[in-house]
Amino acid sequence: MPKGLSINDVERKEINKVYQKLVRKIKPRLKGNDAELLKKAFQLAIKAHDKQRRKSGEPYILHPLEVARICFDEIGLGPTAVISAILHDVVEDTDVTQEDINALFGIKVGRIVDGLTKLDGLYNVESPQAENFKKVLSTLVDDVRVVLIKMADRVHNMRTIDAMPKHKQLKIAAETSYIYAPLAHRLGLYKLKTEFEDICMKITDPELYNEIALQLKQSEADRTKFIRNFLKPLRTKINALGFPFRTAARIKAISSISNKIKKKKVPFDEIYDIFAVRLIVDVDVEFEKNSCWQVYSVITDTYTPIPERLKDWITTPKGNGYESLHTTVIGPKGKFVEVQIRSERMNDIAERGFAAHWKYKEVKSNENVYDKWLNNIREILDANHSDALEFINDFKTNLFSEEIYVFTPNGDMRILPKGATALDFAFDIHSDLGYKAVALKVNNKLVPMGYKLSNGDQIHVTTAKNQKPKEDWLKMVVTGKARSKIRSSMKEERRKKGELGKEALMRKLKNMKVDFEENIDMLVKHFGFTSRPDLYYAISSEAMKVSELKIFEIENNKLVLKESEKGDIAPKDEPAKTKVVQNNRSKILVNGESADQYEFNLARCCNPVHGEEIFGYLTATSGLKIHRTNCKNATHLMANFGYRILKAEWADRVSSNFTVDLLIIGSDTGVGVIQGITSAISDKLGINIRSFNIEGNEGYFEARVSLVVINKDQLNVVLKEIRSLENVTNVSRIDKT
């Protein structure tokens, strides 16, 4: 953290104003000695952070104060969380110790601050980020406030990320996309999730972000007028129902619009749900459901509904507690309009998620909303993961955004992620049911274990006493619970088998009259295993035989390799020398210096073009790979292997050729489609076409074109020219899998 001058008088005055504003807001919620602890926390934090400044140059204390405000204002947390938020960085970044926090503020605040403090000494682990993620996520089942404060911390860091260097922005955005945005969704914090995704897109794909933002701004006046006309005939009719209501409009997030453009292969103008109209009724809990359906009836009497677009999350709330009635109707001028109907309570939960859930815990529809999910998290935490990355990957599968509803033979409903299989269902019911599953029936029909379930399926599981999980089961499940339980069972089975291998090895070394403990680690290293259990298991499964020890002789009670067995092979722990490759295709700077010091290549998954924003990923075996910052693999690489990421940029002058693959979609008029596309690319722009493949069907065509361009600017000219063709509806880059 940057060190600077102490806080001056002008800054101190501004800081006190920020603090007093926070105090005024939270004052009605203060009880007991909360006010005293709040003041004490502020005084400790301002003293501890006195000489620390953010990258922007402002006093660091403003950050924890803003995090505290977000906790209260935007997430809805109480005084304990606000106090903890003010203190969240003092142990990590100053001389204040965890013991000091416990003594001054009590064990409750102490535990939260401890959960928010990063782990030290993580440089020897595979992924320091994953270890810290695991520590924070592990607090979910004990005190969810740790995660919620961490969310507020991340929100403020993202809002002020412009002060950071670009390469650090990319890493932070990757972490946010990988864990924080999905977690915000799972906790029902939709506003934060949307903000996370939009800021990440602004960092990784600024051109598309700015293009969509401009289109939204240009269409704002027309959109406002349309919504006003849409609501006009509804207001009188809903007023006649006799209960208060209000209206609001929700504009689709820029990142969501981008995803839809890419997924549906349609232009901005053809996305019908860019906005949704929200109708919020103010009624008591017992009248909510009936009132929402009454409003639905008014809307569908006024406008023609699209039946398949009805989503009833009032009768069956989402797994994160979200309740709302969604329908799509045909509004004025034939435009599709999504309408969301909900109560004030439902809207509060939709806005504040997990934090609001506790406020309405007595409401029947909210009973155990998160308890089942937290139980799944608890089971994942209890599983024996080989490393933090394995834990994070299992955890992420519990952050699903799309759900299916399936049923037990007795009619009990279970919520699973979209894509879940029959075997996932068995583990979701109970671990033992999953372990011993031998046959599964879906809707009374026998199906494979990996059969993907659909909404409304009823599943019956047949078990056998001697059944045990197998390695190929991991390919048949998608949920974190199932994966962690299968792995845990296999590890236990592997450990038991390994004991037999260990006994065989101990007997062999005893017969050779050498000490087991003095030689075992050398044998593990020599034969290329990562751990002792791996060596034991290899012996028990006969992948390795103890007779292979004949290549050793004994010196001073230790095994040493015989002279006749020694070759010219370098020891396994000697690092391979960097191979310098002169790459004439492109000139790239890595950390400000020529990339020629590395063996580097452009990543084939995203084929970066000169001028596009890039980063370097130092692989374990294949040298340096150069990726686009918006590559589909970027988030995973940066979030989990940040220490392998290198800052990369193009040199100013490049004379190179880059291959780009495009997908062109349009209406097949039957005449001149191919000629029109090839003429625009080759004849008009003089671009070399490497390959061209086109398929047409019932008035629709898809063309896949491979081009050679010299830089990003030339590529943008090509894209603009193709989009201008009369029969083309969409053109996009193709990333390889």
DSSP string, 127-184: -HHHHHHHHHHHTTTT-THHHHHHHHHHHHHHHTGGGS-HHHHHHHHHHIIIIIHHHH
The SS3 assignment for 554 reads strand
DSSP labels for 613-669? -EEEEE-SSS-EEEEETT-TTHHHHHHH-GGGEEEEEE-S-----EEEEEEEEEE--
Residue 201 shares a structural domain with residue 217: no
Higher-confidence residue of 567 and 501: namely 501
Which two tokens mark 159? 């809002």
What would you measure as the largest C-alpha separation in the chain, in angstroms?
98
Provide, rounded to the nearest whole percent, the portion of the chain with pLDDT above 90. 34
Taking CA atoms, 412 is separated from 8, 174, 408, 538, 561, in Å, by 64, 39, 5, 44, 64
- CATH number of the domain bearing residue 696: 3.30.70.260
Q: What is the mean pLDDT of residues 526-539?
A: 82
Residue 611 inside a domain? The answer is yes
Residue recorded with tokens 């012996």 = 539
Mean predicted confidence (pLDDT) in 221-249 = 94
Would the pLDDT of 231 be above 60?
Answer: yes
CB-based burial, 95-121: b 16+ in 10 Å, e otherwise: ebeeebbbeebeeebbbbbbbbbeeee
* Per-residue pLDDT at 610 exceeds 70: yes
Tokens 């191919």 map to which residue?
674
Q: How confident is the model at residue 155 (pLDDT cuts 50, 70, 90)?
A: very high
**How far is residue 141's CA from residue 176's CA, in Å, rounded to a whole number?**
21
Q: Tell me, rounded to whole angstroms, the distance of Cα 268 from its chain centroid.
A: 25
CA 31 to mean position of chain CA atoms: 37
Alpha-carbon distances, residue 527 vs 549, 561, 563, 571 (angstroms): 10, 12, 17, 12
Residue type, 390: E
- 136, 22: one domain: yes
Which conformational region is residue 338 in: left (phi greater than 0), alpha (psi within -120 to 50 degrees), or beta? beta
Q: In this predicted structure, what is the pLDDT of residue 158?
A: 95
Number of domains, the chain: 5
Q: What is the pLDDT of residue 572?
A: 38
Same domain membership, residue 87 and residue 33: yes
* DSSP secondary structure, 476-540, as one string: G--SHHHHHHHHHHHHHHHHHHHHHHHHHHHHHHHHTT--HHHHHHHHHHHTT-SSHHHHHHHHH
> Does the pLDDT value for residue 157 go beyond 80?
yes
Pick the more confident residue, 703 or 124: 703
pLDDT exceeds cutoff 50 at 573: no
Query: What pLDDT digit, counting tens, does each position of 341-394 carry?
Result: 999 999 988 887 776 765 665 555 555 555 666 666 666 666 666 566 777 777
d(CA 61, CA 86) in angstroms, rounded, equals 8
Q: Are residues 705 and 727 in the same domain?
A: yes
Considering the domain architecture, whether residues 189 and 52 belong to the same structural domain is answered as yes
Q: Give buried/exposed letters for 613-640 (b at 16+ CB in 10 A, else e).
A: bbbbbbeeeebbbbbbbbbebbbebbbb
Q: Report the pLDDT value the prediction gives residue 304, as an integer from 0 to 100.
A: 95
Q: How buried is residue 18: exposed, middle or buried, by Cβ count under 10 Å (0-12/13-18/19+)?
A: middle
Ordered DSSP codes for 708-729:
EESSHHHHHHHHHHHHTSTTEE
Q: How confident is the model over 64-116, as pLDDT tens digits?
A: 999 999 999 998 889 999 999 999 999 887 888 889 999 999 999 999 998 88
The answer to whether residue 29 sits within a structural domain is yes
Residue 565 confidence class, pLDDT cut points 50, 70, 90: low
Judgement on whether residues 329 and 276 belong to the same structural domain of the protein: yes
In this predicted structure, the answer to whether residue 320 has a pLDDT above a threshold of 70 is yes
Categorize the per-residue pLDDT at 583 as very low, low, confident or very high, splitting at 50, 70 and 90.
very low
Residues 289 and 319 in one domain: yes
If one compares 684 and 284, the residue with the highest pLDDT of the two is 284
The set of residues, in sequence order, having a beta carbon less than 8 Å from that of 418 and lying 6+ positions away, is 400, 402, 403, 404
Higher pLDDT, 435 or 134: 435
- pLDDT at position 203 is 93
Decide if pLDDT at 26 tops 80.
Answer: yes
Q: Which of 210, 230, 260 is the last residue of a domain?
A: 210
State residue 578's pLDDT score. 36
- Say if 519 falls within a structural domain: yes
Q: Give, for 405, the enclosing helix (H) or strand (E).
A: strand 403-407
448 within domain boundaries: no
Q: Among the residues of 160-287, which ranges form H helices? A: 166-175, 181-186, 190-204, 206-218, 220-239, 254-264
Residue 201 in this model has a pLDDT that exceeds 50: yes
Percentage of the chain modeled with pLDDT above 70: 88
pLDDT tens-place string over residues 661-674: 999 988 876 667 88
Instruction: Given the residues 34, 50, 92, 668, select the one marked as catalytic.
Output: 92
- Does residue 452 lie in a domain region? no
Q: For position 257, what pLDDT does the model report?
A: 92
Can 92 be counted among the known catalytic residues? yes
Whether 256 is in a domain gets the answer yes
| 73 neighbors 25 (Cβ within 8 angstroms) | yes
pLDDT confidence tier of residue 46, bands split at 50, 70 and 90: very high
Do the domain assignments include residue 500? yes
Tell me: do 182 and 163 sit in the same domain: yes
Model confidence at 161, pLDDT cuts 50, 70, 90, reads very high
373: closest CA among 344, 410, 398, 406?
Answer: 398
In the listed set 349, 366, 383, which residue is the last one of a domain according to the structure?
366
Are 66 and 120 part of one and the same domain? yes
CA atoms within 13 A on the CB side of 125: 18
Where in the sequence is the domain holding 16, given as residue range(s)? 9-210
**What integer pLDDT is reported at residue 580 of this predicted model?**
36
Q: What is the mean pLDDT of the chain?
A: 84
Rounded distance between C-alpha atoms, residue 505 and residue 540, angstroms: 10
**Annotation marks residue 14 as catalytic:** no
At 458, the amino acid letter reads Q
What is the model's pLDDT at position 186? Answer: 81
More confident residue, 224 or 364: 224
Does 169 lie in the same domain as 244?
no
- Model pLDDT, residue 358: 58
Q: Which of 623, 650, 677 is the last residue of a domain?
A: 650
> What tokens were used for 635?
């988030």
| Residues 485/431, Cβ–Cβ less than 8 Å | yes
Residue 446 pLDDT > 60: yes
Of the candidates 61, 68, 89, 59, the residue with the CA atom closest to the CA atom of residue 25: 68
Three-state SS for 401?
coil
Residue 227 lies in a domain: yes
Q: Which of 370, 360, 352, 368 is nearest to 285 (CA)?
A: 360
Q: For the chain, how many helices (H) and strands (E)?
A: 27, 23
Terminal Cα distance for the chain, rounded: 39
405-426 pLDDT, tens digit per residue, is 899 999 888 888 889 999 999 9
Does residue 64 or residue 581 have the better pLDDT? 64
Exactly one of 11, 34, 50, 93 is catalytic; which is it? 93
What's the CA gap between 175 and 173, in Å, rounded? 6
Q: What's the mean pLDDT in 238-262?
A: 91
Judge if 528 and 642 occupy the same domain: no
The structure's pTM equals: 0.72
- 616 bridge partner residues: 626, 646
Beta bridge partners of 340: 278, 326
CA distance 142 to 138: 8
In the predicted structure, residue 297 carries a pLDDT above the cut 90: yes
Q: Domain with 44 in it: what CATH number?
A: 1.10.3210.10
**Residue 477 CB partners (closer than 8 Å, separation 6+):** 420, 421, 423, 424, 427, 450, 483, 486
What does the pLDDT average to over 500-506?
87
Tell me, yes or no, whether 143 and 16 share the same domain. yes
pLDDT band at 710 (very low <50, low <70, confident <90, very high): confident
